[in-house]
Amino acid sequence: MDYPELSEEILPLVGGSQNIASYTNCMTRLRLNLHDPSKADVAALRRLTGVMGVVDGPQLQVVVGPGHAQRLRDAFAEVVDAPAEAPVDDPDDEVADIAAAAAGSRATGARASGGGEPVDAVTDLRTLQQENTQKVKSRHTSRVHGLFRHIANIFVPIIPGFIACGLVVAIGNIWKLIDPGVAANPWFLVFAALGTIVVASLNLIVGLNTAKEFGGTPVLGLIAGAISYLPALAGIAATTAADGTVTPAQPLVLPLFGELKPALGGIIGVMVTAWLFTVIEKWIRKRVPAWADLFVVPVVTLLVGAVICIFVIMPISGLLMQGINWLLIDFALERGGVIGGYLLSSLFLPLVMLGIHQGLTPIHAQLITDHGFTELLPVLAMAGAGEVGMAIAIFLKTKSTRLKNIIRAALPIGVLGVGEPLIYGVSLPLFYPLITACLGGGFGGAFVAFGIQASGGFGAGALGLSGVLMTAVITNGAWLWYVGGLVISYIMGFVLTWFFGFKEHMVERLG
């Protein structure tokens, strides 16, 4: 793609620099905030080489796909006379664009060899996915859904770091299996340390992103993320002098709660504290004269916020984290075993459609921070594998060329762990296949839960990967358990859909 040329072509079609209030990008789109959206020639923009699609509106979005958006933004900056904004993240849009890009690359090959049908399938898939996604999202209007959207906006920018560091850890583990002696090499230790960067600094990153999300000063959010992790919260340890005199430990003790310790409350506490900092900062700024802003607002925000964090947020969020861990790990997986694993996996897709699955992200992040992996993620990933089995069954059973082409476009990226195209483009419109996919994925979840018990514990060492790609970050050498779960989910999703989930007349539901 010729980014400078494409930038030159886009500019006049959106009304020139004078019509652009500002511009930014996400992972897959160049986003232009226009003074007058009516001046944009959307039809002409869609015909430009390299443009996958255009979303019209006050913020006009030019879809170019992953790997291209940032490069196009950099080239666009050279030709436009308008202010740039920080990149943004929209997880739902980005998933749709990645799916379409993957399918589109295959369609391009088919068209070059003389077939044009897959290109129509990509458009069809994208239309179905967007229509059904919007229908589902239109119901996500409660404050709870708003909270989960904030959580997603906080964690989505961290996912590339999780993936990078997780893969470094995976490479290091494989390296040690091949050459155990390398663990004594100091340069290898430097390499291995690269894989710990995100986990070691997660509280600071989350605090920073939370402040950005809620309109606070980023550095104050970073400070908020550090408060509950201060080593001084451990108090003073017991010491023994040279003459044998013992000075007893002096822990920090809160009334009703008990002893404080660093990291109490975890990532949830960090998010609440950073949010509180933004509330305090805005409240004080309204009441302080401008000349005193720089000296008064930050220090009062820090002192007041730190007191509330230590005496209120840390104890309460600590109890909350203990309760969540007990419910999902101790009760559902350790005590529930295969039954708990089945229920967690089979119910996960409904959680995705309800928009509340994003609330699990801080839990995954905290589990990785605490002991290096999250047991939940491999179990929940089986839900997507059930979708893959469902799709294969429908592909082989249906006589509809249109449905076959839609599945052909969505299936490969579903195997890689991006399940939304299959959910919103296939199973949700047909409905009953969604049920059989959920039930089929539950069997894989049960198998993985059994493997966690039988092997002594394993999980995913990083966020952001699913499907077959998660195999690379499965910890403790237990990847065969995970692969076994994928295969079982594929098979059971296939079998249940073939016999119970799909009838040919359901194709009419696609519209």
Span 297-347, pLDDT tens digits = 999 999 999 999 999 999 999 999 889 889 988 999 989 999 999 999 999
Average pLDDT over residues 499-509: 92
The β-bridge partners of 59 are 33
Q: At what angle do helices 143-155 and 202-213 cross, to 10 degrees?
A: 130
The predicted structure's pLDDT at residue 247: 86
Please, which pLDDT band fits residue 112 given cuts at 50, 70 and 90? very low
Residues β-bridged to residue 84: 23
Q: How confident is the model at residue 243 (pLDDT cuts 50, 70, 90)?
A: confident
**pLDDT score for 57:** 73
Catalytic annotation on 309?
no
Q: Tell me the per-residue pLDDT of 151-203, one tens digit each, with 9 for 90 and over.
A: 888 988 888 888 888 889 889 888 988 998 999 999 999 999 999 999 899 99
pLDDT digits (tens, 9 = 90+) for 362-411: 999 999 988 889 999 999 999 999 999 999 999 999 999 989 988 988 89
Amino acid at position 467, single letter:
G
For the segment 382-391, what is each residue's pLDDT rounded down to a tens digit?
A: 999 999 999 9
CA end-to-end distance (rounded Å), the chain: 35
107 contact partners, CB below 8 Å, separation of at least 6: 118, 119, 121, 122, 409
Find residue 25's DSSP bridge partners. 30
> Per-residue DSSP letters for 100-145?
HHHHHHHHHHHHHTT--HHHHHHHHHHHHHHHHHHHHHTT--SHHH
CA angle 45, 50, 55 (to 5 degrees): 45
What is the residue whose two structure tokens read 């290096």? 372
Cβ proximity of 366 and 267 under 8 Å? yes
Specify the amino acid at residue 36.
D
Higher pLDDT, 150 or 121: 150
Residue 63 φ then ψ, to 5°: -85, 120
Helix H or strand E encompassing 24: strand 20-25
Q: Is the pLDDT of residue 348 over 70?
A: yes
240 pairs with which residues across the strands? 246
C-alpha to C-alpha distance for 227 and 492, rounded to whole angstroms: 48
In this prediction, residue 138 carries a pLDDT of 59
| Angle at the Cα of 107 from the Cα atoms of 104 and 112, rounded to 5 degrees | 130
Over the chain, what is the mean pLDDT? 86
Q: How far apart are CA 218 and CA 509, in angstroms?
A: 48
% of the chain exceeding 70 in pLDDT: 88
| Maximum CA extent, the chain | 90
pLDDT for the residue numbered 378: 96
What confidence tier does 106 reach under pLDDT thresholds 50, 70, 90?
very low
Give the angle 316-335-323 at the CA atoms, nearest 5°: 5
Query: Which band of pLDDT confidence, cut at 50, 70 and 90, is reported for residue 65?
Result: confident
Average pLDDT over residues 479-508: 95
Residue 116 has pLDDT above 50, yes or no: no
Give the confidence band of 55 by pLDDT, cuts at 50, 70, 90.
confident
Model pTM score: 0.73
Give the pLDDT band of residue 424 (cuts 50, 70, 90): confident
Q: Who wins on pLDDT, 37 or 58?
A: 37
Confidence of residue 357 (pLDDT cuts 50, 70, 90): confident
26, 165, 309, 438: which one is catalytic?
Answer: 26
User: Has residue 450 got a pLDDT over 80?
Assistant: yes
384 three-class SS: helix
Residue type at 110 in one-letter notation: A
Beta bridge partners of 33: 22, 59
